[in-house]
């Protein structure tokens, strides 16, 4: 059995999956944000409950809102203060008497989608999250590509392509990102970036859901705004597709629920690829909020 912990800033969700990757049992509890020993104890207790349910020990995977640090085994996380700078995986492994695998929540999202029954035959899957921020992961033959520093897939902090400004009018100022850099993709393609582009163009403040509601009513400004965003998304996707050449692209996050993003996406991306490139399949995420614990559980799967 495979146990997947989705450890967030406010809750810990645990899902237990069988050999067919079907959910058998789940629960969730509040996250002890500040007390490390309490955090370890909560996960230990939940694992014991899962073991009792299964009648045997299961494998344990943990998704976190942060990054494992390979050099010293600690984790870097802003939204989980209790675990910041701690040897989280090693400490849990010692407590649970089994190997605990940890990865960031964006990789877990991508891994969950790559192991979907319909998607698992694709060798290279690119998962892209368009939500509060922009992130994602690359899954190769069923395993996450992590890289030297576990930052492979941090697409939101790539810089805007040279033709991105042309896609939105050419005179849009570059914005500072939360990472401290300027011109990150996240500042434009996130839900907040979607709203900021509207405010910059029309000098009025609307949220992403409000803009989308206007689009549904075929408001002329909203239609033009969405077209600009679609063009910008296509430019940025062109770089990612050239870099990773995926067979499948899965879009998650709040903006991924906006169906218009998929309309003609392939045709808009194609001009930004090499002439010989064949387009991947584009799909919305299938597993929603369950993706974090699914992907964490599947950190132990191999093709």
- Residue 214: how many CB atoms within 10 A of its CB? 18
> What gap in Å lies between CA 235 and CA 169, rounded to an integer?
13
Reply yes or no on whether the pLDDT at 101 is more than 90: yes
Question: Are 90 and 36 within 8 A, CB to CB?
Answer: no
Residue 172 pLDDT grade (very low, low, confident, very high; cuts 50, 70, 90): confident
Note the pLDDT of residue 258.
92
pLDDT at 168 over 90: no
| pLDDT at residue 170 is higher than 90 | no
The pLDDT tens digits of the residues spanning 5-46 come to 999 988 999 999 999 999 999 999 999 989 999 999 999 999
CA distances from 259 to 211, 215, 241, 293 (A): 14, 11, 21, 25
Residue 115: pLDDT band with limits 50, 70, 90: very high
Confidence of residue 70 (pLDDT cuts 50, 70, 90): very high
The pLDDT, as a whole number, for residue 9 is 86
Q: What is the pLDDT of residue 229?
A: 94
pLDDT higher than threshold 80 for residue 169: no
Q: How far apart are CA 54 and CA 176, in angstroms?
A: 49
- In percent, the amount of the chain with pLDDT more than 90 equals 83
pLDDT mean across residues, the chain: 94
Residues 6+ apart with CB under 8 A from 181: 157, 159
Predicted confidence (pLDDT) per residue in 182-215, tens digit: 989 999 999 999 999 999 999 999 999 999 999 9
- Which pLDDT belongs to residue 132? 87
The per-residue pLDDT for 179 is: 86
Highest mean pLDDT among 51-60, 151-160, 168-177, 258-267: 51-60
pLDDT band at 167 (very low <50, low <70, confident <90, very high): confident
Mean pLDDT of 120-134: 94
The model's confidence at residue 238, banded by pLDDT at 50, 70 and 90, is very high
């Amino acid at each position: 059995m495979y146990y997947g912990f989705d450890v967030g800033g406010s809750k810990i969700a645990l899902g237990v999956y069988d050999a067919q990757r079907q959910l058998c049992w789940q629960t969730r509890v509040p996250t002890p944000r500040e007390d490390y020993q309490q955090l370890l104890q909560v996960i230990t207790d939940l694992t014991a409950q899962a073991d009792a349910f299964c009648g045997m020990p299961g494998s344990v995977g943990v998704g976190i809102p942060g990054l494992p640090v390979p050099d010293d085994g600690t984790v870097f996380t802003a939204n989980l203060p209790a675990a910041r700078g701690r040897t989280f995986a090693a400490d849990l492994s010692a407590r649970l008497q089994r190997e605990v695998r940890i990865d960031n929540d964006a990789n877990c999202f991508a891994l969950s989608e790559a192991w979907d029954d319909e998607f698992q035959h694709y060798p290279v899957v690119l998962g892209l999250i368009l939500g509060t921020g922009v992130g994602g992961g690359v899954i190769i033959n069923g395993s996450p590509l992590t890289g030297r520093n576990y930052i492979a897939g941090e697409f939101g902090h790539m810089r805007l392509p040279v033709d991105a400004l042309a896609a939105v009018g050419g005179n849009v100022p570059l914005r500072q990102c939360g990472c401290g850099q300027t011109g990150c993709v996240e500042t434009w393609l996130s839900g907040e970036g979607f709203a900021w582009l509207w405010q910059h163009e029309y000098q009025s403040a609307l949220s992403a859901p409000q803009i989308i509601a206007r689009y549904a009513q075929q408001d002329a400004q909203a239609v033009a705004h969405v077209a600009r965003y679609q063009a910008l998304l296509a430019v940025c996707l062109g770089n990612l597709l050239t870099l990773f050449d995926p067979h499948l692209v899965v879009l998650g996050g709040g903006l991924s629920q906006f169906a218009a993003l998929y309309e003609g996406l392939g045709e808009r991306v194609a001009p930004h690829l090499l002439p010989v490139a064949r387009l991947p399949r584009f799909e919305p995420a299938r597993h929603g909020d369950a993706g974090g614990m699914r992907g964490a559980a599947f950190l132990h799967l191999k093709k």
